[in-house]
Structure 1
């Protein structure tokens, strides 16, 4: 698992502020750990109070580090404001750099969000991808953060470069609309497949999720749920994809999508990035 770790400073619709360990990469790592998968995590945070809270949060879910994370002067934060519909908007104070990485020959590598886009950490991520054994499966969650990275040609090029390594690309419909403005969902997915991705999984909010391959498109509906907030929803969905594909990479795409949707539905039903355990997700 490769991706940013930070602390979400969450302001709810009623004005209350709370801090939760999070970050896209940390959320996926924790979600997989809670599902009982062995997880080694590549990220960075400081040895300060927030970093110690992150370390404890990861350890509680069985996540182990695959690098020394203490390469930052202070732990990154995301100021998250929750709207009346549970959606979150973010303002980041974040630095992305990595120390020496040792991952060996993992079954899966999940990269996401800022990992292949924001320097100087992005260079370390691509070096890791270049060194992976051929049998390692790569899942890439685009998870765009335009307020931090922008949306220019360099960002698009970095995302498309990361797609070339991916067996599965995950994105939201909003990600694809930001990446390729004015392009419909099917065409955007086709573009990503054209860069070499084996499949593209797209979340569509309350409409469910879709799976695109060269053979066509599969859709599943959303789970009925009362939304508290959407923090960590996409990250939990990504972890659900990895979990569903863990022992059978050729599994029925409808089953893979449904598993991710069910996991994400549990996360949005409670505050913060709080993904389900295996006992909560049969």
Structure 2
């Protein structure tokens, strides 16, 4: 059987408020974006997620299917499909308002080589507790990647959320966070100190993205930084998720890949996503 990644987390519909005030709906969600990005890079992906049996849920299902993402569980665990209303600023950055529920049906026997969890799905109850249980079950046999991708609008940034981020980080081999994530969760620490704090909890590496300032790879033996890839930014929806997928893809066959190579590969993938509207990750031939 072809090796596969198990991606675990939320699917939702992004309601993008266009400059003219119109609403434009597109399937998304941090975990769904990672699943799609990995599948488009040619990796086999099984996805643990949830959405309702409604029009928006069917749109998500079609979107996942078109990119070759397989479902690992019955996704119909919600009464209505979650949404995120995204307002795009002049620089292409997005701010969000969420209407979201997170839970999923039990996961049967799985044997992935990689597991990726992220964002709301790792910290929002009741699903977050099941995410942790799944990671504890799979950590000995799979490489675990965790993208913090903080969403203060729905989870806040209080002590309980920070404790959950730290708890998931202890189970991960790789943690990825943006400078904005770390500033929101650890306001009394510098970005570098916050990254080193997460590293001290047990992961082998922490990757920090800094937008146009590039990214940095933290390990016990030191730090490596890589410049951002220049791109004409349309919007940033899905950029961090694509970066996460790029890291997972880079580490898939060789966990000892050079950090510079992994960061550069992830940055190249993310640069394609920001150059087009919405969460539209690249296929491998586009890299």
Q: Is 1:275 matched with 2:273?
A: no
User: Could you say which residue in structure 2 is the equivalent of 1:106?
Assistant: 112
Matches within 5 A, 1:254-265: 254-265=260-271
Residues 214-234 of structure 1, C-alpha deviations (whole Å, 9 max, x = no match): 111100001111100000000
One of 193, 197, 202 as aligned partner of 2:199: 193
Q: Is the 8 A contact 2:139 2:171 kept in 1?
A: no
Matches within 5 A, 1:147-226: 147-226=153-232
TM-score under structure 2 normalisation? 0.96
User: Could you say which residue in structure 2 is the equivalent of 1:69?
Assistant: 75
Q: Is the 8 A contact 1:105 1:133 kept in 2?
A: no
The unaligned stretches of length 5 or more in structure 2 are 1-6
Distance 1:16 1:241 in 2: 35
Considering only aligned residues, what root-mean-square deviation do their CA atoms show, in Å?
0.9
User: Could you say which residue in structure 1 is the equivalent of 2:54?
Assistant: 48
Q: Is the 8 A contact 2:169 2:198 kept in 1?
A: yes
The offset of 1:133, in angstroms, is 5.2
Distance 1:66 1:133 in 2: 18
Q: Is the 8 A contact 1:42 1:66 kept in 2?
A: yes
Paired residue secondary structure (1:39): strand
Distance 1:199 1:144 in 2: 19
Runs of 4 or more, structure 1, over 4 Å off, are none
Q: Is the 8 A contact 2:170 2:201 kept in 1?
A: yes
User: Could you say which residue in structure 2 is the equivalent of 1:23?
Assistant: 29
One of 238, 242, 246 as aligned partner of 1:240: 246
Q: Is the 8 A contact 2:13 2:25 kept in 1?
A: yes
Distance 1:6 1:238 in 2: 18
Paired residue secondary structure (2:286): coil
TM-score under structure 1 normalisation? 0.98
The unaligned stretches of length 5 or more in structure 1 are none
The offset of 1:16, in angstroms, is 3.3
Q: Is the 8 A contact 2:269 2:282 kept in 1?
A: yes
User: Could you say which residue in structure 2 is the equivalent of 1:60?
Assistant: 66
Count of aligned pairs = 281
User: Could you say which residue in structure 1 is the equivalent of 2:11?
Assistant: 5
User: Could you say which residue in structure 1 is the equivalent of 2:121?
Assistant: 115
Paired residue secondary structure (2:149): coil
